[in-house]
Amino acid sequence: MGRVYKVAVITGDGIGPEITEAAIHALGNVGLKLEFTKVAAGLNAWEKYKNQLPQETVDIIKSSDACLKGPTQTPPGPGSFKSATVTLRQLLDLYANVRPFRNHPGVPSIHKGVDMVIVRENTEGMYKGLEYNLGDSALGVRVITRRGSERIAKFAFDLARREKRKRVTAVHKANVLKETCGLFRNVCAEVAKSYPDILFDEMHIDAAAMRIAMKPQDIDVIVTTNLFGDVLSDECAGIVGGLGIAPSANVGDRYAFFEAIHGSAPKHAGKGDANPAAIMFSAAMMLKYLGELDAGARFEVAIDAVLAEGKTVTRDLGGKAGTMDFARAVADELSKK
């Protein structure tokens, strides 16, 4: 074992504490020295400190090597606090949200042969937080910048190159949203010229949603704006087996956090039956980000082995196992290697 990695863990709300505990348990057998520090964010932090993202949490994340994040809950509508997740992404300038989707052995899925990545701009767009109450109407401002579009497009092309992928597709609605999506689309096309080895094309968001539902094998890497990427991600999770297995990375130039794409699933909280596979796959992405490529790959293989065997899977995948049963099975699988 080499160096010690400091990992901040946002335990989160709802099923968050259970799935993060499961991930920490399985990571114990991955063969690395990982030092976990649990920190508060989300509804639980709001109830305790009247602050959904306490400064102490931010400080610990900044002084750690990476952060594993459980889902956090945000009450809907006006009058409630801003999402801790969105706040953290903006505060740490984690501009790239990377969401890979593939089939997993043993997991029932609508389509086979899916292997795609959504690269979602993570700090601007409709989630910038510029919303105004005007009495009987409400106004939202969508912010798209050249700088934001350029860096996310470059990130997507670099990812395509690194992962030996063939094509980047810019998804937008520039026929209607002429200024905002128009700028995003044009910048993506400009950036594409510097990557002649990668094919580039574009799709309108509505057509892309249909293509994903009908023929997702056509898609390789999607680069898109914040809200569009958020919505398409859940659709992509749906076609490969559901939210319980879909991971993500939130990455900037200095910091990163890793989380399942699903939320806090409050109805499942405390039942011990939530699927921890998505946060475990996110933890595997974290290990790769830390430079531990072998450990990350071994962790993925172990999770997939338990999914493939099908004996210890959770209710969302048709099984009867609890969250910690799955974690113990993955830990056992890792100790076999």
Q: How far is the CB of 8 from ligand NAD (least distance, A)?
A: 15
Q: Is 288 a catalytic residue?
A: no
Nearer to ligand NAD, 44 or 74 (CB): 74
Nearer to ligand NAD, 140 or 291 (CB): 140
Verify binding: residue 71, ligand NAD, rule CB under 6 A: yes
Q: How far is the CB of 204 from ligand NAD (least distance, A)?
A: 25
Q: How far is the CB of 43 from ligand NAD (least distance, A)?
A: 8
Measured between alpha carbons, how far is 284 from 245 in angstroms, rounded to an integer? 12
User: Contacting ligand NAD (CB under 6 A), which of 316, 321, 326, 331?
Assistant: 316
Q: Report yes or no: 217 and 111 within 8 Å, Cβ to Cβ.
A: yes
Q: Report yes or no: 117 and 161 within 8 Å, Cβ to Cβ.
A: no
Verify binding: residue 22, ligand NAD, rule CB under 6 A: no
Measured between alpha carbons, how far is 63 from 289 in angstroms, rounded to an integer? 16
Q: Report yes or no: 15 and 265 within 8 Å, Cβ to Cβ.
A: yes
Which is catalytic among the residues 49, 234, 288, 332? 234
Q: Report yes or no: 8 and 67 within 8 Å, Cβ to Cβ.
A: yes
Nearer to ligand NAD, 88 or 170 (CB): 88
Q: What is the DSSP string of 11-39?
A: --STTHHHHHHHHHHHHTTSSSEEEEEEE
Which is catalytic among the residues 59, 206, 218, 253? 206
Nearer to ligand NAD, 85 or 224 (CB): 85
Q: Report yes or no: 273 and 325 within 8 Å, Cβ to Cβ.
A: no
Residues 188-227 that bind ligand NAD (CB under 6 A): none
Verify binding: residue 72, ligand NAD, rule CB under 6 A: yes
User: Contacting ligand NAD (CB under 6 A), which of 85, 87, 169, 233?
Assistant: 85
Q: Is 173 a catalytic residue?
A: yes
Q: Report yes or no: 37 and 60 within 8 Å, Cβ to Cβ.
A: yes
Q: Is 206 a catalytic residue?
A: yes
Nearer to ligand NAD, 34 or 246 (CB): 246
Q: How far is the CB of 262 from ligand NAD (least distance, A)?
A: 3
Nearer to ligand NAD, 32 or 239 (CB): 239
Residues 257-286 that bind ligand NAD (CB under 6 A): 259, 262-268, 274-275, 278
Q: What's the gap between Cα 238 and its chain centre?
A: 14
User: In the 8-state DSSP scheme, what is residue 143?
Assistant: B
Measured between alpha carbons, how far is 259 from 280 in angstroms, rounded to an integer? 9
Which is catalytic among the residues 127, 255, 289, 325? 127
Q: What's the gap between Cα 195 and its chain centre?
A: 25
Nearer to ligand NAD, 13 or 220 (CB): 13
Measured between alpha carbons, how far is 312 from 61 in angstroms, rounded to an integer? 33
Q: Which of 290, 207, 232 is nearest to 116 (CA)?
A: 232
Q: Is 127 a catalytic residue?
A: yes
Q: What is the largest CA-CA distance in the chain?
A: 62
Q: How far is the CB of 44 from ligand NAD (least distance, A)?
A: 12
Please name the amino acid found at residue 249.
A
Measured between alpha carbons, how far is 300 from 188 in angstroms, rounded to an integer? 32
Residues 229-248 that bind ligand NAD (CB under 6 A): 243-244
Verify binding: residue 79, ligand NAD, rule CB under 6 A: no
Q: Where along the sequence are the contacts to ligand NAD (CB under 6 A)? A: 15, 71-74, 85, 243-244, 259, 262-268, 274-275, 278, 316
Which residues are known catalytic residues? 127, 173, 206, 230, 234
